[in-house]
């Protein structure tokens, strides 16, 4: 969730995440010292006692960092007990750390104005940080977390009082995420939908163009110089703005898809995971091209996160599957070919829209464990989101 705020409060928000990082770093060194001195681990209450009032944050925000530290330590401990070789106790110092406000740390006003409390320092209550949002979720807000991803945003944990609908076995659907922000789905009945964002294509094109231009100018400056930093800031601004637009489009697309699933009486959604494939076929030349492409794609993780909770609310389940070869293989004769045009056409006579073809194969693979020709004709729908 994005928000607007004043310049000075924005600076204070950044300061919060720097301060939270200090709490985290303090947790690391305190725990280390405690272990050296006493030969045992610091407990939750001890850690809370020694961090209390030491930082420029609301007391619950400080506690939240301590909890995260203890959680990370205990998770690592369990993994080490199980013999996982890559597991490590938290050790890395941070420069930024998400700040959390629990129920006593924030106030939400009727006009979607949010006040984040900074607690009491030297006996005086500090002026809260004021933010304005739009489309704030209705219901009981449990927690607000300040995160950063090309720009600051809020992650909100809430209870809407509505129970998720119960799961009931109905039909399955396969989902293929297209290269440029599209989502294609194919259901067992042959109903198929392709959802694309009209604007998204131009957002990402414009962004790449602008970023390329800034990078070109930046490459002429000395790294770290004042002018270089100026370009760096401009680049961050472009990325942050387009990131918000893309996020918004992602919300709309997943919402439309879930609505379609409800209408089609879907219970199980099988989604192809393109990132699993990328990892497998990593080659140097390809990797750089993929990196460039990644800018243009929604990350699978993000799409999954959105779908997971939206589907769960309607009693549907999400299953990611390895989408290897689903886009290349003809389901009828099993020949493989690369698709370059809008349609997949095989010499055996099979043909299908490229994205629907992918979704069809993903559905078959998840139902039968292999790419198989589903004997239904396609009833194609296109949906464009403004
Ligand atoms: Zn064929």
Q: What is the pLDDT of residues 350-380, one digit of tens each?
A: 999 999 999 999 999 999 999 999 999 999 9
Same domain, 93 and 194: no
Output the CA 379–ligand 1 centroid distance in Å: 20
Same domain, 254 and 378: yes
CB proximity list for 333: less than 8 A, separation 6 or greater: 346, 348, 350
Same domain, 183 and 111: no
Residue pair 335/329 in contact (Cβ under 8 Å)? The answer is yes
Instruction: Identify whether 48 is part of a domain.
Output: yes
Same domain, 182 and 152: no
Q: Is the dihedral of CA 88, 93, 98, 102 positive or negative?
A: positive
pLDDT greater than 50 at residue 279: no
Residue 131, judged by CB atoms within 10 A of its CB (0-12, 13-18, 19+), counts as buried
Output the CA 73–ligand 1 centroid distance in Å: 53
Q: How far apart are CA 102 and CA 62, in angstroms?
A: 10
- Angle between helical axes of 200-218 and 226-263 (0-180°, round to 10): 160
pLDDT greater than 80 at residue 124: yes
Instruction: Identify whether 134 is part of a domain.
Output: yes
Output the CA 374–ligand 1 centroid distance in Å: 13
Same domain, 15 and 75: yes
Segment 330-345 shows an average pLDDT of: 92
How many separate domains does the chain show? 2
pLDDT greater than 90 at residue 149: no
Same domain, 68 and 98: yes
Output the CA 184–ligand 1 centroid distance in Å: 21
Higher pLDDT, 67 or 242: 67
Output the CA 367–ligand 1 centroid distance in Å: 20
* Predicted confidence (pLDDT) per residue in 19-47, tens digit: 999 999 999 999 999 999 999 999 999 99
Q: How far apart are CA 220 and CA 120, in angstroms?
A: 48
Output the CA 347–ligand 1 centroid distance in Å: 6
Same domain, 187 and 105: no
Mapping DSSP onto H, E and C, the string for 164-225 reads CCCCCCCEEEEEEECCCCEEEEEECCCEEEEEEECCHHHHHHHHHHHHHHHHHHHCCCCCCC
pLDDT greater than 50 at residue 10: yes
Q: What is the model's pLDDT at position 179?
A: 66
Output the CA 266–ligand 1 centroid distance in Å: 29
Q: What is the model's pLDDT at position 295?
A: 43
Residue 351, judged by CB atoms within 10 A of its CB (0-12, 13-18, 19+), counts as exposed
Output the CA 369–ligand 1 centroid distance in Å: 19
Output the CA 313–ligand 1 centroid distance in Å: 39
Output the CA 373–ligand 1 centroid distance in Å: 10
pLDDT greater than 50 at residue 296: no
Residue pair 214/235 in contact (Cβ under 8 Å)? The answer is yes
Same domain, 122 and 179: no
* Predicted confidence (pLDDT) per residue in 176-216, tens digit: 987 667 899 999 999 999 998 767 777 878 888 999 999 99
Output the CA 325–ligand 1 centroid distance in Å: 14
Same domain, 25 and 138: yes
Instruction: Identify whether 212 is part of a domain.
Output: no
CB atoms within 10 A of CB 40: 8
Full domain range(s) for residue 254: 171-198+250-383
Output the CA 261–ligand 1 centroid distance in Å: 29
Lowest mean pLDDT among 102-106, 133-137, 255-259, 280-284: 280-284
Mean pLDDT for all residues in the chain: 88
Same domain, 78 and 133: yes
Higher pLDDT, 219 or 140: 219
Output the CA 348–ligand 1 centroid distance in Å: 4
Output the CA 352–ligand 1 centroid distance in Å: 11
Segment 54-68 shows an average pLDDT of: 94
Same domain, 182 and 87: no
Output the CA 335–ligand 1 centroid distance in Å: 6
Output the CA 323–ligand 1 centroid distance in Å: 19
Output the CA 218–ligand 1 centroid distance in Å: 49
pLDDT greater than 60 at residue 277: no
For residue 339, give the CATH number of its domain: 3.30.420
Structure tokens at 6: 């004043």
Output the CA 337–ligand 1 centroid distance in Å: 10
């Amino acid at each position: 969730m994005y928000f607007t705020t004043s310049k000075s409060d924005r600076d204070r928000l950044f300061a919060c995440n720097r301060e939270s990082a200090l709490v985290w770093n303090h947790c690391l060194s305190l725990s280390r010292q405690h272990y050296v001195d006493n030969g045992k681990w610091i407990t939750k209450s001890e850690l809370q006692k020694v961090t209390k009032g030491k930082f420029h944050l609301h007391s619950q925000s400080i506690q939240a960092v301590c909890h995260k530290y203890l959680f990370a330590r205990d998770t690592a401990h369990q993994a080490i007990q199980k013999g996982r070789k890559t597991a490590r106790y938290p050790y890395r110092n941070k420069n930024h750390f998400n700040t959390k406000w629990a129920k006593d740390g924030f106030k939400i006003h009727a006009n979607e104005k949010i006040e984040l409390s900074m607690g009491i320092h030297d006996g005086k209550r500090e002026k809260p940080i004021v933010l304005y949002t739009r489309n704030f979720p209705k219901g009981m807000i449990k927690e607000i977390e300040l995160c950063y991803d090309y720009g600051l945003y809020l992650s909100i944990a809430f209870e809407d009082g509505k129970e998720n609908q119960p799961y009931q076995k109905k039909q399955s659907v396969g989902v293929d995420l297209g290269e440029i922000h599209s989502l294609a789905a194919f259901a067992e009945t042959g109903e198929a939908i392709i959802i694309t964002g009209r604007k998204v294509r131009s957002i990402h094109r414009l962004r790449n163009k602008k970023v390329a231009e800034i990078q070109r100018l930046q490459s002429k400056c000395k790294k770290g110089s004042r002018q270089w930093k100026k370009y760096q800031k401009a680049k961050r601004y472009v990325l942050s703005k387009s990131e918000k637009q893309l996020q918004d489009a992602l919300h709309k697309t997943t919402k439309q898809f879930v609505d379609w699933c409800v209408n089609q009486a879907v219970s199980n959604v099988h989604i192809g995971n393109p990132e699993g494939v990328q990892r497998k076929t990593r080659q140097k030349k390809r990797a750089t091209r993929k990196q460039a492409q990644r800018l243009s794609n929604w990350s699978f993780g993000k799409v999954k996160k959105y779908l997971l909770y939206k589907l769960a609310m309607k009693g549907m389940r999400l299953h990611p599957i390895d989408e290897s070869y689903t886009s290349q293989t003809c389901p009828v004769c099993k020949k493989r070919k690369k698709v370059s045009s809008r349609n997949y056409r095989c010499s055996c006579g099979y043909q299908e829209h490229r994205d629907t073809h992918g979704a069809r194969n993903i559905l078959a693979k998840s139902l039968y464990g292999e790419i198989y020709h589903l004997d239904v004709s396609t009833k194609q729908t296109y949906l464009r989101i403004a």
